[in-house]
């Protein structure tokens, strides 16, 4: 409720526009000498609706510590305007729900993650006032999960590991561990993991590898992505007029995956290795070579003991 003391406490600063500057001596504030002060409109009501959406909003409840809000933002690149938007989200949610509010930002590259983690203040450096400092998840602090057993322990965490490390040299091993872990889970559990991983890899080279792993390792699933890949294989087979188009399409996908992993790891792939891989049509042999390609020291090592 507006009352005379309330009015007086702020109107005095309108009456004497340089009062705040003079407070620096009284309060020992590191303020510059103001050259000019201007009164601006104080009505902060939005005259037109402004659509602002946080990517994901969760309420986390605890019997011991009560509830808090967690706003989650996915950030693909540096954006100087974002910290102000994040501050708006946090302030609005804090005001609307009356709950402590935290911000989590997920990034796919180290530079963006380091940028997002830096505290940004609304005020000048000497009067920071409202500061925003999100929790940041990215390739700099997410575990690299290359063991299928570890991936199976927490499929969602393994998926987030794959998404945040989409551009890492180890992405082939991460995706192989995830696809292997998915072989032993129910289809309704595997389906969203398959799709989220494909979406998270976006248009990176790793997306082609993931599509191939789904077709080869998870051929018994009927997810949208798996069906799309198998349809492509069947279409290619029909275009070539081969009755065994599905099988050959899968074999070609397996061969492509092996060569992609070797190339992404920076290994030299000779013409002999490339020919031997592409000429193989045995799914089990291709699967064995793909597994070895993830850790082999050289391209030739995938044929060890053969």
Structure tokens belonging to residue 260? 């992609």
Distances (CA, A) of 20 to 5, 79, 186, 232, 251: 18, 33, 65, 69, 75
CB atoms within 10 A of CB 124: 11
Report pLDDT for 258: 86
Distances (CA, A) of 240 to 124, 183, 212, 237, 247: 67, 31, 20, 5, 13
User: HSE on the CB side for 162, CA within 13 Å?
Assistant: 34
Tens of pLDDT, residues 21-36:
677 677 676 766 666 7
Task: Specify the DSSP element, H or E, that contains 60.
Answer: strand 56-62
Cα angle 20, 24, 25 (rounded to 5 degrees) comes to 125
Structure tokens belonging to residue 197? 């991983």
Q: What proportion of the chain, given as a percentage, has pLDDT over 90? A: 25
- Across 219-223, 254-258, 279-283, least confident range: 219-223
Q: Are 163 and 202 in contact (CB under 8 A)?
A: no
Report residue 304's pLDDT band, with 50, 70 and 90 as the boundaries.
confident
- Across 48-57, 219-228, 291-300, least confident range: 219-228
């Amino acid at each position: 409720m507006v009352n005379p003391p309330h009015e007086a406490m702020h109107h005095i600063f309108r009456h004497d526009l340089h009062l705040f500057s003079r407070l620096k001596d009284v309060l020992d504030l590191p303020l510059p000498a103001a050259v000019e002060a201007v009164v601006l409109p104080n009505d902060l009501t939005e005259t037109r609706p402004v659509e602002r959406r946080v990517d994901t909003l969760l309420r986390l409840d605890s019997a011991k510590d009560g509830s808090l809000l967690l706003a989650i933002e996915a950030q693909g690149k540096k954006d100087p305007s974002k910290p102000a938007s994040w501050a708006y989200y946090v302030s609005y949610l804090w005001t609307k729900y009356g709950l402590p509010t935290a911000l989590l930002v997920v990034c796919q590259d180290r530079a963006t993650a380091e940028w997002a983690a830096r505290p940004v203040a609304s005020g000048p450096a000497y009067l920071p006032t409202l500061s925003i400092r999100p929790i940041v998840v990215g390739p700099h602090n997410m575990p690299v999960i290359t063991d299928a057993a570890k991936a199976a322990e927490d499929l969602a965490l393994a998926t987030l590991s794959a998404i945040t490390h989409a551009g890492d040299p180890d992405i082939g091993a991460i995706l192989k561990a995830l696809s292997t872990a998915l072989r032993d889970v129910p289809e309704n559990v595997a389906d969203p993991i398959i799709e989220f991983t494909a979406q998270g890899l976006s248009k990176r080279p790793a997306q082609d590898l993931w599509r191939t792993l789904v077709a080869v390792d998870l051929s018994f699933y009927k997810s949208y992505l798996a069906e799309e890949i198998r349809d492509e294989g069947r279409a290619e087979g029909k275009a070539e007029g081969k009755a065994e188009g599905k099988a050959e399409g899968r074999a070609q996908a397996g061969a492509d995956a092996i060569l992609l992993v070797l190339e992404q790891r920076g290994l030299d792939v000779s013409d002999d290795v490339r020919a031997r891989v592409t000429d193989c049509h045995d799914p089990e042999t291709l699967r064995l070579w793909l597994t070895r390609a993830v850790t082999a020291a050289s391209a030739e090592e995938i044929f060890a003991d053969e």
